[in-house]
A and B are shown apart, each in its own frame.
Chain A
Amino acid sequence: DAKTTQPPSMDCAEGRAANLPCNHSTISGNEYVYWYRQIHSQGPQYIIHGLKNNETNEMASLIITEDRKSSTLILPHATLRDTAVYYCIVRGLSSSGSARQLTFGSGTQLTVLP
């Protein structure tokens, strides 16, 4: 699975949009971009994933560049409860008999400020 690069930390004002970048320049055609977040000492929470089209759900939007070498997770109206470590993960499809684990990097510590 391709390696990802994220800034170690970001701040965002409460109520504003939080835009978290991720570089994945070695991504291949069948690899998906996943985002998880982890609030202190809890299990990671799935946020969203996508292949090449932009995706939106009730939690966030995922914008993937046309060349797929980078992406941005957008939390449209950040709240204090969105303070967490956000992980961007690139992952291929599972194949018969082969597990597709999640390979976590260091992530981005997002701090939402009041």
Chain B
Amino acid sequence: ETGVTQSPTHLIKTRGQQVTLRCSSQSGHNTVSWYQQALGQGPQFIFQYYREEENGRGNFPPRFSGLQFPNYSSELNVNALELDDSALYLCASSRNPSGTTDTQYFGPGTRLTVL
């Protein structure tokens, strides 16, 4: 059983640019959640995708958007990058979001630096 993978590992962008981060979910999982972790803080929930639709969102502006594909992989897109977007972006996959304990398994993360 393959785990959650993310790409790229590291990324450097400049303010105002756009970025796309990718996540492949663990085999058998149909739900992907994205988190942002600023330096020295715990991860903060961005949004979750289930069956290719957004299934919940945290307190993040609309310039954070996502997609989920039929194979359950997912993308996180951030437009108009700001310096404060510099963080570790984490993807977590799980089996079913409804009526279960839905344990989430995390990928290694993508380190984004905005200059």
Measuring CB to CB, which residues of chain A are less than 8 angstroms from any residue of chain B?
32, 34, 36, 41-46, 49, 87, 91, 93-107
Contacts and interface: CB of A to CB of B under 8 A. Distances in A.
Contact of A99 (B41, B44, B56): B56
Contacts, number: 79
Contacts of B96: 94
B106 A43 contact: yes
Contact of B45 (A49, A103, A106): A103
Interface residues of B, number: 33
Contact of B100 (A34, A44, A94, A104): A94
A23 to B, nearest CB: 17
A93 B100 contact: yes
Interface of B: 4, 33, 35, 41-45, 47-48, 50, 55-58, 88, 90, 92, 96-109, 111
A73 B47 CA distance: 28
Contacts of B35: 102, 104
B90 to A, nearest CB: 5
A41 B60 CA distance: 22
Chain A: interface secondary structure?
A: loop
Contacts of B106: 36, 43-46
Contacts of B44: 104
Contacts of A43: 4, 90, 92, 106-109
Contacts of A95: 98-99
A99 B42 contact: no
Nearest to A98: B56
A94 B50 CA distance: 12
